[in-house]
Chains A and B, each alone.
Chain A
Amino acid sequence: AQSVTQLDSHVSVSEGTPVLLRCNYSSSYSPSLFWYVQHPNKGLQLLLKYTSAATLVKGINGFEAEFKKSETSFHLTKPSAHMSDAAEYFCVVSAADTGRRALTFGSGTRLQVQP
Chain B
Amino acid sequence: GAGVSQSPSNKVTEKGKDVELRCDPISGHTALYWYRQSLGQGLEFLIYFQGNSAPDKSGLPSDRFSAERTGGSVSTLTIQRTQQEDSAVYLCASSSWTSGSTDTQYFGPGTRLTVL
Contact = CB atoms under 8 A, between A and B. Distances in A.
Interface of A: 32, 34, 36, 42-46, 49, 51, 90, 94, 96, 100-108
B17 to A, nearest CB: 24
Contacts of B91: 43-44
Contacts, number: 53
Given A43-B91, A44-B91, A96-B97, A103 B105 contact: yes
Interface in B56-71: 56, 58-59
List of 4 A-B pairs having minimum Cβ-Cβ separation, nearest first: A102-B45, A105-B43, A44-B107, A43-B109
Nearest to B58: A102
Contacts of A101: 31, 33, 48, 50, 55-56, 97, 103
Interface of B: 4, 31, 33, 35, 42-45, 48, 50, 55-56, 58-59, 91, 93, 97, 102-110
A43 B107 contact: yes
B108 A49 contact: no
A41 to B, nearest CB: 8
B104 A102 contact: no
Contact of B56 (A46, A100, A107): A100
Contact of A42 (B31, B43, B93, B109): B109
A49 B107 contact: no
